[in-house]
Amino acid sequence: MKLFLVPTPIGNLDDITLRAIKVLQNADAILAEDTRTSGVLLRHLGISKPLHSYHIFNEHQTVQRLVGQMKEGKTLALVSDAGTPGISDPGFLLVRECIKNDIPVECLPGPTALVPALVNSGLPNDRFTFEGFLPHKKGRQTRLMELTEEERTMVFYESPHRLLKTLGQFAEVFGPDRPASVSRELTKVFEENRRGALSELITYFAEKTVKGELVICVQGREPVRRGSAEKRRMFEQDEDTEDD
């Protein structure tokens, strides 16, 4: 009885881990966001297992049935089309239900787009915030306004046809000089990591037909310089709450 979340390559098939292969081989069944996409990978790995679809349109209906199967002793492995399940992909609901039902959950480490994009960006990565996809319409402006105060590097997923619009909005809210990066087609033959001020990235990508998958990283705002009296107060507050 167990749920495994198994990361799969985001472009380069060599990025599958040895343990991912073992877990997929040993699972009673594999849950896939798109059975055709995962079928190609499984055939490439020589793995033949019952394959069931699990995606955002059926997860609410299927989650209880899957929990029931695991309670009967089955081990299931969840994969998404690419990268780590649950990261801007289905997975969260099933993980939450497993935890509620005392079913062990294990997410294997492995491919995901956000980590290489962040590290390749050359922007500070000691602290960062993963923003995933911005809302397309409702709530987009509010989300952007909330982020104006963010001091950590921000990581966004975006589709190629919205790249210029999004970079334009970033330049408006964060300022055109804010350092940023666009990582395109990570791990693939035509991988590209473009770094520069938001205005430079806009000029560069405006001249191109942007294709493929991409991640945008934007440096956080300069930390607010606090007066020494305010710093002392914050330090004292920290000390008061340290052992709580």
Q: Which residues bind ligand SAM (CB under 6 A)?
A: 10-11, 80, 82-84, 87-89, 112-114, 157-159, 183, 185-188, 213-215
Give least dist CB 27 to ligand SAM, A: 19
Query: Taking a C-beta distance cutoff of 8 angstroms, is the pair 77, 6 a contact?
Result: yes
Residue 10 vs 103, nearer CB to ligand SAM? 10
Q: Where are the alpha helices (DSSP H) in the chain?
A: 18-26, 35-45, 59-71, 92-100, 114-121, 140-147, 163-174, 198-206, 228-241
Give least dist CB 196 to ligand SAM, A: 18
Residue 152 vs 188, nearer CB to ligand SAM? 188
Residue 82 vs 198, nearer CB to ligand SAM? 82
> Residue 235: how many CB atoms within 10 A of its CB?
10
Residues 6 or more apart in contact with residue 40 via CB below 8 angstroms? none
Give least dist CB 43 to ligand SAM, A: 21
DSSP conformational letter for 122: T
User: Which residue, judged by CB position, is nearest to ligand SAM in the bound state?
Assistant: 83
Residue 66 vs 87, nearer CB to ligand SAM? 87
The encoded tokens of residue 58 equal 């059926």
Which of 139, 202, 193, 132 lies closest to 165, judged by CA? 202
DSSP 207-237: TS---S-EEEEEPPPPPPPPPHHHHHHHHHH
Give least dist CB 106 to ligand SAM, A: 16
Give least dist CB 230 to ligand SAM, A: 39
Residue 83 vs 220, nearer CB to ligand SAM? 83
Give least dist CB 193 to ligand SAM, A: 10
Residue 141 vs 159, nearer CB to ligand SAM? 159
**Cα maximum dimension of the chain:** 66
- Distance between start and end Cα atoms, the chain: 37
